[in-house]
Amino acid sequence: MSEIKNRNFIEEIIEEDIRNNKHNGRIHTRFPPEPNGYLHLGHAKSICLNFGLAQQYNGKTNLRFDDTNPAAEDVEYVDAIKEDIHWLGFDWEDREYYASDYFQQLYEYAIQLIRAGLAYVDDSSAEEISKMRGIPTSPGSLSPFRNRSIEENLELFEGMKNGKDKEGERVLRAKLDMSSPNMHLRDPIMYRILFSSHHRTGTKWCIYPTYDFAHGQSDSIEGITHSICTLEFENHRPLYNWFIENLEIFPSRQIEFARLNLEYTLMSKRKLLQLVNEKMVDGWDDPRMPTISAIRRRGITPEALREFATAVGIARRENVIELSKFDNIVRANLNKIAIRTMAVLDPLRITINNYPHEIEWMEVENNPEDPETGKRNIPFSKEIFIEREDFMEEPVKDFFRLSPGNIVRLKAAYIIRCEQVIKHEDGSIHQLICSYITNSRSGSDTSGLKPKSVIHWVEANHCITATVRLYDKLFSVPDPANYENVHSILNKDSFQELTNAKLESKMKSADPGTRYQFMRKGYFYLDKNSTHENLIFNRTITLKDSFGK
Ligand code: ATP
Ligand code: MG
């Protein structure tokens, strides 16, 4: 199989390494989230890539929390991240690591570089350091502290570690190249002082390594062979390699790919946190969010998410994926598995005045895509509900559903004709009186009538009442990342709650293991806050693209 499949460039690198018996053909990747927010779709892409490659090449994947910035990190995020990865269908077995587990080792690496004359303590302020760094087109200037003796550097660095200095007073920098056109090589900072309690190491440390000094070394400590990250780290790669070479540690290799961008979707934890903090959404798992937890709550399956991650492929250049690509994969997946049911979201009562029976049972399929799910019988009587929008008192052109004097077919039941409209005092429609065509029963119709539309309905005395929540895109523009002020681009109509939806009585026992299709209305999933007394369904997605209608 693998012969005919087109390999992406990362697979090519890995296969070449295997051919050359690099690291004895061993493949070891890692997924390195910073626990400063919930995982989003972009992370899902990275998870599927890292765990997927390991599965494909018989390797392993570590979960490593990149927890070097105590100010923004929290155990709540650690727990949520683990839950999300498991839900997606991947497992790191016993390889759950934390960059903070390596603080002692990293400290010793720093001393090793000081001893080699490759790192120095700088007393300059952050502003001074930034000024001395200069601009890419001309060399920066050397810090007056750059030529401190090794002994002095060792002593000062120990002092930093022991809490002798205040935050911002001193940093440890790598002695590299202040004239490099790559700004990351202009004596990058390795350690800064932070008197912040860490969620794992408490107050043991008051110096913390920067991303650049922690990430590559953590890869190396874990024997990671292929360290896959997103393109913004391309310019960090020479530094990644410089630390590994000068420390003479395991040569992990960094490989960059383009991050996943999706239309109408923000993929920055910082901005998602702002949405949560400023209550623009109802928490990290608000179904409009692009987080894995929100996607789960909405009712999307892990299979669909994995399929999407594979379908978008691996690119070397930034691109933006159309939202329809995501939606179509979700729909195709749900179409196969969802149990069909009729539900009227905005009910309009109908009395069928010539219907003679107390009740009849109509047979309907549970899922035409999956005959094994069988059929069920639903009740029909003279009292039913239809969708308010399926009736128009004065039908516009091309409206072929119910209107005065006209006929429509009720799915799996009879053809009815609207005889009379009964109104409230304020002129709004209270209910309809209809008649039914006696010999028009679905499956044995001999009426010869051909209504132009089929609509769904629910029998009024057996049905149950539930709440349904409908969602639309959170943003009104396709490129929300380009706007600093998210308030100005929120879609005001992204959420709608209907509390009087009428559902088939079997939905009383709806369960969160099942995806439902409410015929003509979309795919629905039980919300996490739903109770037996107060059923709440989230619409996962509409049946077909209704955006822009
Ligand atoms: P954010 O910008 O949302 O804070 P991040 O890259 O800072 O994202 P991390 O927790 O550091 O978040 O990321 C963990 C891993 O997920 C990294 O390897 C990162 O490259 C990858 N990742 C993050 N966002 C995306 C994305 N949009 N597409 C693909 N991979 C991503
Ligand atoms: Mg990050």
Segments making up each domain of the chain, as ranges = 2-257, 269-339+466-541, 343-456
Q: For residue 307, how far is its CA from the centre of ligand 2 (angstroms)?
A: 25
Number of H helices, E strands in the chain: 12, 25
Ligand 1 atom 4: residue of nearest CA: 269
Instruction: Pick 269-339+466-541's CATH classification: 3.30.930.10, 2.40.240.10, 2.60.40.10, 2.40.128.20.
Output: 2.40.240.10
Which stretch of 1-10, 179-188, 358-367 has the lowest confidence by average pLDDT?
Answer: 1-10
CA 401/CA 395 separation, integer angstroms: 9
Dihedral angle computed from the Cα positions of residues 281, 542, 507 and 368, in that order, rounded to the nearest 10 degrees:
-150
Instruction: Give the model's pLDDT for residue 544.
Output: 85
Is the beta carbon of 42 within 6 A of some atom in ligand 1? yes
Per-chain mean pLDDT for the chain? 96
Instruction: Report the CATH superfamily, name and number, of domain 343-456.
Output: Ribosomal Protein L25; Chain P (2.40.240.10)
Q: What is the pTM of this model?
A: 0.94
Q: pLDDT band for position 72 (50/70/90)?
A: confident
CA atoms within 13 A on the CB side of 126: 5
As a whole number, mean pLDDT of residues 468-472 equals 98
| Residue 546 reports pLDDT greater than 80 | no
Asked if residue 268 has its Cβ within 6 Å of ligand 1, the reply is yes
319 CB near ligand 1 (under 6 Å): no
User: How confident is the model at residue 4, as a pLDDT?
Assistant: 57
Query: Quick one: CA torsion of 144, 145, 150, 155, rounded to 10 degrees?
Result: 150
CA distances to 157, 190, 195, 207, 311 from 163, in Å: 10, 17, 8, 8, 51
What pLDDT is attached to residue 165? 98
Question: 272 CA to middle of ligand 2, Å?
Answer: 14
- Residue 71 is predicted with a pLDDT of 86
pLDDT of 548 above 70: no
The Å distance, Cα 227 to ligand 2 centre, comes to 14
Are 2-257 and 269-339+466-541 equal in CATH topology? no
Structure tokens at 181: 């056109």
pLDDT in tens, 335-355: 999 999 999 999 999 999 999
Split at pLDDT 50, 70, 90, the class of 450 is very high
**Cα(47) to centroid of ligand 1, in Å?**
10
2-257: CATH topology is: Rossmann fold (3.40.50)
SS3 108: helix
- Return the ligand number nearest the Cα of 46: 1
Q: Which ligand is nearest to the CA of 257?
A: 1
Q: Kindly give the number of the ligand 1 atom that is closest to the alpha carbon of 267.
A: 3
Whether the CB of 266 sits within 6 Å of ligand 1 = no
**Minimum CA distance residue for ligand 1 atom 26:** 42
pLDDT (mean) for 89-112: 98
Active site residues: 34, 259, 269
pLDDT attached to residue 461: 98
The rounded distance, in Å, linking the Cα atoms of 451 and 402 is: 10
Q: Does any ligand 1 atom lie closer than 6 A to the CB of residue 35?
A: no
Of all atoms in ligand 1, which is nearest to the CA of residue 32?
14
Please give the average per-residue pLDDT across 191-215, as a whole number.
Answer: 96
The phi, psi pair for 85, rounded to 5°, reads -65, -40
Each residue's pLDDT tens digit, 40-69: 999 999 999 999 999 999 999 999 999 999
The confidence band for 2, taking pLDDT boundaries of 50, 70 and 90, is: very low
Q: What is the pLDDT of residues 254-303, one digit of tens each?
A: 999 999 999 999 999 999 999 999 999 999 999 999 999 999 999 999 99
